[in-house]
Structure 1
Amino acid sequence: MSTQPPATGDWHAAWSAALDALEMDVATAEEMLSGDHRNQETPAVTGAWTPPADLGPLPLDLRPRADAILARQLAVAKEMVLIMVGNRRQAAMIARVETGSDGAARPVYINCAA
């Protein structure tokens, strides 16, 4: 069973819809990273984006939009990595404060005078 590529208008509409979905995902991620939303409950991830089947090549007039969405996705990914690194550093610092140690072995003295 072979599938035909969408007609030109349908092909453009299919790509526009796919880019709309990507743009909504990146907007949601950007909103979650904003200062107002960092401490709030975040929605569950619905899964990785997969391109619609038989989408065909990207129409040339949609290339600038696709490039802009990709740039936003990369910026969000970079910010997420920086936030995760900061969270790990903060957790390590809090662990040191709670234990009073930097993780190194502490000397133990035993009073053997009797």
Structure 2
Amino acid sequence: MTAPTANSLDWRAAWTAALDDLEMDVLAVETMLADERRLAETPPANPWVPPTDLGALPLELRPRADEILTRQLAAAEEIARRLTANRQQMAATSRIETGEAVKRPVYLDFAM
């Protein structure tokens, strides 16, 4: 086995830093989902941007990247579930405010 070169160490460090950034973004979303009121209307200030000059992912970082992807997918699924629940609640609330789903004209006969 050959000793790692400076380029291979820089490559691994660059990928580690990229995964660190991505993991922090996932953690921010998970934290927001755990605390429903926190950051409810404030989007992240610095969304993660994928680096373009890293090359292939080092094999030893594959398990970490897979774990981050699993967390991202779980967070995205939870966001979709909450958006659906929110839409359902809004639809129910709009019916409650009017008393019925469709507004109909009302006629009163005062002749009697």
Task: State the TM bucket, normalised to the shorter chain.
Answer: 0.7 to 0.9
The alpha carbon displacement at 1:92 in A equals 1.0
Which deviations, in whole Å up to 9, do the C-alpha atoms of 1:31-69 show, x marking residues without a partner? 1101xx202344432354222231110001100100000
Q: What is the count of residue pairs matched by the alignment?
A: 106
Contact 2:14 2:54 in 1 (8 A): yes
> Structure 2 unaligned runs (5+)?
1-5
Amino acid at match of 2:78: E
Amino acid at match of 1:20: D
Counterpart CA distance in 1 for 2:27 and 2:54 is 23
Tell me the secondary structure at the aligned position of residue 53 of structure 2. coil
* C-alpha RMSD over aligned residues: 2.1
Identical aligned residues as a percent? 50
Amino acid at match of 1:58: L
* Partner of residue 16, structure 1: 16
Counterpart CA distance in 1 for 2:38 and 2:49 is 28
Answer 1 or 2: higher relative contact order, Cα 8 Å, separation at least 6.
Answer: 1
Tell me the secondary structure at the aligned position of residue 49 of structure 1. coil
